[in-house]
Amino acid sequence: MYLSVAGSADRVHGTVQVPNSKYHAHRALILASLAPGTSRITGLSDARHVQYTVGVLRALGITVEVDGDTAVVHGGRYRPHRDHINVGSSGTTLYFMVGLAALADRDLLITGQKYFDHRPIGPLLRALGEIGVDASSPTDCPPIQVRHGRPTGGTVHIAGTLSQWISALLLIAPFATAPTSVIVDGPFNERSYVELTVRMMAQFGLEVVASPDGRRYDIAPHQWAHPADLHLPPDIGSAAFGLAVAGIRPADVLLTGLASIDPADIDHPEAEFLRIVHEMGLPMAVDAAAGGVRITHDGRRLQAVEVDCRDVPDMLPVLSTMAALAEGESVFHHVEHVRLKESDRVHAMLQLNEMGGRLDFDGTDLRIQGVERLHGAHLSSFNDHRVLMSLAVAASAASGRSTLTFPTAYRISYPQFLDAMGELHVDMQVEQGPARPTARRLPPVGTAAAAGQVTGAEWIRRWAKERPHSLALVDAAPERTTRMTWAELDRAVDKAAALLLDFGVAAGDRVAVQLPNCSGFVVISAAAARIGAVICPIMPIFRQREVAVALKRSHAKVVVVADNFRGRQHDAELAEILDDPAEAELAVETVLVLHLTPGVAHILPSCANPDVAWHAWHRAAAWAQVDRAALDARAPKPQDPAQLLFTSGTSGEPKGVIHRHESLSRAAWMEIEQLPLNSTDAVYVPSPLAHQTGFLYGMWLAWVLGVPQIVQRTWNPTQALEVLNEWEGTFVQAATPFLTDLVREVEAGAPAPHALRIFVATGAAVPRALAERATRVLGATVCGAFGTTETGLAALGSPADPASKAWGTDGRALRGVQLRIVDDDGRRSPDGVEGNFELTGPTVFDGYLERPDLTAEAFTADGWYRTGDLATIDDGYLRITGRVRDVINRGGEKVPVSEIEQLLYRHDAVGDVAIVAMPDPRLGERACAFVVLEPGRTLTFTQMQRYLDDAKVSKSYWPERLELVDSLPRNAVGKVQKFVLREQAAGLTPQRLAAVPHTDREETLDDEHPDNARWTRKPHRRA
């Protein structure tokens, strides 16, 4: 198990009850056990350490009745039933009871949890020996053998290292047969804890006379404790975590049970903490009416502070967290004894450096230079309750996700910690499995066919039930990042589904969505799926003409648009469409506007069409009432349509493709199986959710797998690497430009994405040189793949493949898919021979929306889908060689376009390249290379010729024109729109092939020869 914490800069808000003091509880219980008679203690903490003390007292024969937060203790002689007692993991119980065990009527062995075997208490054992208590251990560590018998008293010296050692001597001294004097030597740490012991002893009738400097304590012998009734005060040590999280994030937090923020008014050894955080600028105020202390601010930074840790040693971990995000340098003096606690807490908190903190320890002082933000990390709590809680608070304000080992250690001292953080809307929960998971498992569906029987929203229901608090969605917008758990996502989907029902959406109705990658897209898509509606994504880059076509063809009744995205008013553009009389046949009845710009007031656009109702999404959703049974009654069947997607239009007018729930879930599972992916992955989604790559192999894939999806709103490689590292993205499927940008960013000095393990390159053939380079630079496996909107993925590489196959081909057929290469007459081609690529499988669509003519063209007589690509299959691996429409027929000779593009891409001056045909009156077509140069590089037509000549490429394949361009036209998912380039090339003419040196002669292409195969050779003249 591990504690998972999702960081955020959002406001923490809520009310938390501060529990009662465990320091008082230990002492009150022990003192009551020594007092013959009945004592009543109310406000008892349920911390596990306190439970260990109760258990030890019961083992000693003391009756302790606990009812809620009240303990009734019947004190008297210690009469243990066994010869050993176990103090569990409570250091306080161990130290206090080592001496007091001598008051039992038999010898005892004191043990604890296994790691106590390494906790040195030699100085305490020797001091007890000086006053006549026979407590010994050959290792100076537990187990401890204690012989029964009252102490003899005397003068004893003890180091002031730990207050618990001094308190242990004070607690046993009144029962000695002679006076006892306890003298503290050396540095005196934690004096306030000793003073608490003295005050509480007095409440039970035991007298201790302390010197003014607290260095000497005189205790009379033969004392008897008297019963007492106590109500325990609030625990500042627990309140500290609520105060800390309210200090490092914007806050509106009420901590009830605290009546003052003045340390002088509070009976607690850690009350000084309140003065320190006040000095740091924490805006605390007593709210008498609410019965607590309130912290309210909009994000002010705390200030650095200087602290003497001898006063508040247990507060070092939580103060370190606050100081890590404070302005300036904080210094913590005298921290040596803090290293003797449950763990070496100084070095444990140095883990803040792994989160981007700036901590330095010189052996005496801990110095912390505050930073503006931390980032997520995998951390160890060392099974130390205060370290766990302090680092968890730090992680709650970090960017990204953090994990911590020993996630239940908080129960030792603050059992309500996790609930309290939940009340303050801090996202942390205990997860199953190791913090750095290595065990990889798949969801329990078994096969692709079984996965196909689960509809889209059913996946969310499943994970909300099985792992409600696990991270489901990260929305990485440029200005802020938000996240949702599976339970939160499920509730949001219910709310959105109820809203769609309110607007009359029925099963089979189309809901059009023109949104960028954001949580709203995910929620609305799942909401449509939940009630059997069909989601119709529209690319955010589409303008009025394309949007109008999509709305007309889809017959969408409800449209959801953004108010403003990348400088465009999508809602205003939609209003323009709906006001156009030429679009009167549109079926749109309701428009919902999703507000994407925080802090900017939004006014719905003016629309004159009286038949369309406009609503702001957040307002409409606020009054939607969820009827869970009504939603579940509308759940679709796996065979029902789920998605209407328009093809990306790289070669002409977009066509409508409908996919069913079963084909989408099955397609996702087939990829999961092939790679394979597993429950430890996190799916990063930079590709548009409105395109099949982002929709199916981002969002839907994460639903099926039950893992987080990390959606990035606008593409920015710098932010992409930050997001990948902060949220530990392990898998991404995207087009070549995304891969290129990530590689360049890392090569420029940005940190590589440390968790990324698989990048599936789709949309267009990935240049092999880029794939090899990316594998080295990103440290991830790059896999080639082939898929279409109509079919989903058909072929895919795998990390298990040889590298040259994983990224050097377009992969192997997924399970259930069949691939074939045929010639122009439909006959199968032998292995390795180029031909027309066709496929069939369980995820192929049924046909184009309202276009039976195009559907008929897309399928062969025996039902195979014509991809329109040229390819070869060799040893089961597919290699796309070009599009049928991209073939350049140069006087009867077909130019291998893909091969020449791959070769040119390897030139160090070439950043991107595409080759298309130029019409030619005599040869029919010639090749034109459109090239994007690398920054600062040059390439001439002659240099290109020489490069190809050095590569020994047949001159009939050489491009006969070089066009340098700033960028290649691509659609939103990275596919090169070659039809655009062909239009540009239509007016171009060939450049003359210059003489190119080759061995000892020059060659030029004889364009006069009709078959273009004869070469004239001229003697090479050397300079």
> Around Cβ 210, how many Cβ atoms within 10 Å?
17
**Residue 972 backbone class (left: φ over 0; alpha: ψ -120 to 50; beta: rest):** alpha
What is the DSSP-derived secondary structure letter of residue 422?
Answer: H
* Residue 298: exposure state from Cβ atoms within 10 A (0-12, 13-18, ≥19): exposed
Active site residue 886: no
Helix pair 191-203, 22-33: axis angle to 10 deg: 40
- For 657-690, b where at least 16 C-beta lie within 10 A, e where not — what string? bbbbbbbbbbbbbbbbbbbebbbbbbbbbbbbbb
State yes or no: 805 annotated in a binding site. Answer: no
Q: Is the peptide bond before 143 cis (omega within 30 degrees of 0)?
A: yes
- The candidate with the shortest Cα–Cα distance to 529, out of 549, 558, 508, 502, is 508
- β-pair partners for 144: 110
State yes or no: 164 annotated in a binding site. Answer: yes
Size of the chain, expressed as the number of residues it contains: 1023
Q: Which two tokens stand for residue 824?
A: 């122009």
State yes or no: 808 annotated in a binding site. Answer: no
State yes or no: 606 annotated in a binding site. Answer: no
Selected catalytic residue, list 235, 311, 314, 741: 314
Say how far apart CA 66 and CA 87 lie, in whole Å. Answer: 18
State yes or no: 106 annotated in a binding site. Answer: no
Contact (CB, 8 A) for 791 and 868: no
- The candidate with the shortest Cα–Cα distance to 163, out of 2, 27, 330, is 27
Give a three-class secondary structure readout of 758-815: EEEEECCCCCHHHHHHHHHHHCCEEEEEEEECCCEEEEECCCCCCHHHHCCCCCEECC
Q: Helix, strand, or coil here: 419?
A: helix
> Around Cβ 863, how many Cβ atoms within 10 Å?
9
DSSP H/E element including 561: strand 558-562
Q: Which two tokens stand for residue 578?
A: 């709906």
Query: Phi then psi for 802, rounded to 5 degrees?
Result: -55, 145
State yes or no: 22 annotated in a binding site. Answer: yes
State yes or no: 465 annotated in a binding site. Answer: no
The amino acid present at 182, given as its one-letter code, is V
The contacts of residue 55 (CB under 8 Å, 6+ apart) are: 86, 88
The amino acid present at 621, given as its one-letter code, is A
What is the DSSP-derived secondary structure letter of residue 719?
Answer: H
HSE-CB at 32 with a 13 A cutoff on CA atoms is: 26
State yes or no: 345 annotated in a binding site. Answer: yes
State yes or no: 27 annotated in a binding site. Answer: yes
Say how far apart CA 772 and CA 780 lie, in whole Å. Answer: 10
- For 597-629, b where at least 16 C-beta lie within 10 A, e where not — what string? eeeeeeeebebebeebebbbbeebbeebeeeee
Kind of pairing, strands 1001-1005 and 1015-1019? antiparallel
Q: Which two tokens stand for residue 959?
A: 């491009």
Q: CA 9, 14, 17, 18: dihedral to nearest 10 degrees?
A: 30
State yes or no: 815 annotated in a binding site. Answer: no
Q: Is the peptide bond before 676 cis (omega within 30 degrees of 0)?
A: yes
The amino acid present at 701, given as its one-letter code, is L
User: What stretches of 35-188 adopt beta strand conformation (E)?
Assistant: 37-42, 63-67, 70-75, 84-86, 108-111, 135-136, 144-146, 154-159, 180-185
HSE-CB at 689 with a 13 A cutoff on CA atoms is: 31
Say how far apart CA 51 and CA 62 lie, in whole Å. Answer: 14
- Which residues carry out catalysis? 314
Residue numbers belonging to the annotated binding site: 22, 27, 91, 119, 163-164, 314, 341, 345, 386
Residue numbers belonging to the annotated binding site for 3-phosphoshikimate: 22, 27, 163-164, 314, 341
Residue numbers belonging to the annotated binding site for phosphoenolpyruvate: 22, 91, 119, 164, 345, 386
